[in-house]
Structure 1
Amino acid sequence: MNSKYSTKLLFGLVMSLCSFMLSVATAEEKPNVVFILIDDLGWNDLGCMGSDYYQTPNIDRLADRGVRFTNAYSACAVCSPTRAAILTGKYPARLLLTQWLPSGRWDREHNKMIEGRYIGELPLEEITVAEALRESGYATGYIGKWHLGTEAFYYPQHQGFDVNIAGRDYGAPGSYFYPFEGTWKIPSTGQVQVKPAPISGKEGDYLVDRLAEEAEQFIRSHSEKPFFLMLAHYAVHAPLQGKAEKVETYESVDPDNRQGNPKYAAMVESVDESVGRVLATLEELNLDSRTLVIFTSDNGGFAKATDNTPLRANKGSHYEGGIRIPAIVAWPPGQKNGSVCDVPVISTDWYPTILEATNTPLRPFQHLDGKSLLPLIESRSEKLDRQAIFWHYPHYNQHPQNFPCTIVRRGDWKLIENLETGEFELYNLNEDLGESNNLLKSNPQVASELQALLSSWKIEVGADPMRPNPEYQEPTKSKK
Structure 2
Amino acid sequence: MRTLLLLLALLTSPLFSTATQAAERKPNFVFFLVDDLGWTDIGVYGSSFYETPNVDRLAATGLRFTNAYAACQVCSPTRASIMTGRYPTRTGITDYIGAPQPEGWKRKTTMLPANYEMQLALDEVTIAEVLKQNGYATFFAGKWHLGSEKFFPEHQGFDVNQGGIDRGGPYGGKKYFSPYGNPRLENGPAGEHLPDRLASETVKFMTEHKDEPFLAYLSFYSVHTPLMSREDLKQKYLEKKKTLKHGEIWGDEGERKVRLVQEHAVYAGMVEAMDQAVGKVLTAVDDLGLRDNTVVIFMSDNGGLSTSEGHPTSNLPLRAGKGWIYEGGIREPMIVRWPGVTHADSVSEQYVSSVDFFPTMLEIAGIEVPPGLTIDGMSFAPVLQGKSIDRGPIFWHYPHYGNQGGSPSAAVREGEWKLAEFYEDGHLELYNLSDDIGEQHNVADQHPELVKKLHAKLEAWRKETGAKLPTHRVTASK
Determine if the TM-score, normalized by the shorter chain, exceeds 0.5: yes
CA distance in 2 between counterparts of 1:417 and 1:23 reads 56
Structure-2 residue corresponding to 1:428? 432
Structure-1 residue corresponding to 2:277? 274
TM-aligned CA distance change 1:17 to 1:83, over 3 Å: farther
Query: Of residues 458, 463, 474 in structure 1, which corresponds to 2:477?
Result: 474
* RMSD, aligned α-carbons: 2.1
Query: Of residues 19, 30, 33 in structure 2, which corresponds to 1:34?
Result: 30
Matched, 1:177 2:173: no
CA distance in 2 between counterparts of 1:130 and 1:276 reads 24
Matched, 1:395 2:400: yes
Question: Per-residue deviation at 1:51?
Answer: 1.3
Unaligned runs of 5+ in 1: 1-15, 182-194, 476-480
Task: Give 1:346-425 correspondences, 5 Å limit.
Answer: 346-363=353-370, 365-366=372-373, 368-379=375-386, 381-382=387-388, 384-400=389-405, 402-425=406-429
Residue identity in the other structure for 1:322: G
Structure-2 residue corresponding to 1:288? 291
TM-aligned CA distance change 1:365 to 1:226, over 3 Å: same
TM-aligned CA distance change 1:333 to 1:23, over 3 Å: closer
Question: Per-residue deviation at 1:406?
Answer: 1.2
Matched, 1:134 2:158: no
Residue identity in the other structure for 1:326: P
Question: Per-residue deviation at 1:180?
Answer: 2.5
Say which SS state the counterpart of residue 303 (structure 2) adopts. coil
Residue identity in the other structure for 1:317: W
Say which SS state the counterpart of residue 326 (structure 1) adopts. strand
Matched, 1:216 2:221: no
Residue identity in the other structure for 1:168: I
Residue identity in the other structure for 1:251: L
Say which SS state the counterpart of residue 266 (structure 1) adopts. helix
TM-aligned CA distance change 1:94 to 1:199, over 3 Å: same
Residue identity in the other structure for 2:145: H
Structure 1 range deviating more: 105-114 or 64-73 = 105-114
Structure-2 residue corresponding to 1:143? 141
Structure-2 residue corresponding to 1:234? 221
The superposition leaves residues 16-66 of structure 1 with CA deviations (integer Å, 9 ceiling, x where unpaired) of 999x95998178521100100000000011111111111111111100110
CA contact (8 A) 1:142 1:163 kept: yes
Task: Give 1:9-158 correspondences, 5 Å limit.
Answer: 25=21, 29-104=25-100, 107-108=105-106, 110-151=108-149, 153-158=150-155
CA distance in 1 between counterparts of 2:106 and 2:273 reads 40
Question: Per-residue deviation at 1:108?
Answer: 3.6
Structure-1 residue corresponding to 2:254? none
CA distance in 2 between counterparts of 1:367 and 1:58 reads 36
CA distance in 2 between counterparts of 1:159 and 1:23 reads 33
Query: Of residues 445, 452, 455 in structure 2, which corresponds to 1:451?
Result: 455
Unaligned runs of 5+ in 2: 1-11, 247-260
Question: Per-residue deviation at 1:199?
Answer: 3.9
Question: Per-residue deviation at 1:113?
Answer: 1.5
CA contact (8 A) 1:104 1:397 kept: no
Structure-2 residue corresponding to 1:159? 156
CA distance in 2 between counterparts of 1:228 and 1:328 reads 17
Say which SS state the counterpart of residue 441 (structure 1) adopts. helix
Say which SS state the counterpart of residue 134 (structure 1) adopts. helix
CA contact (8 A) 1:73 1:323 kept: yes
CA contact (8 A) 1:352 1:367 kept: no
CA contact (8 A) 2:38 2:305 kept: yes
Matched, 1:315 2:313: no
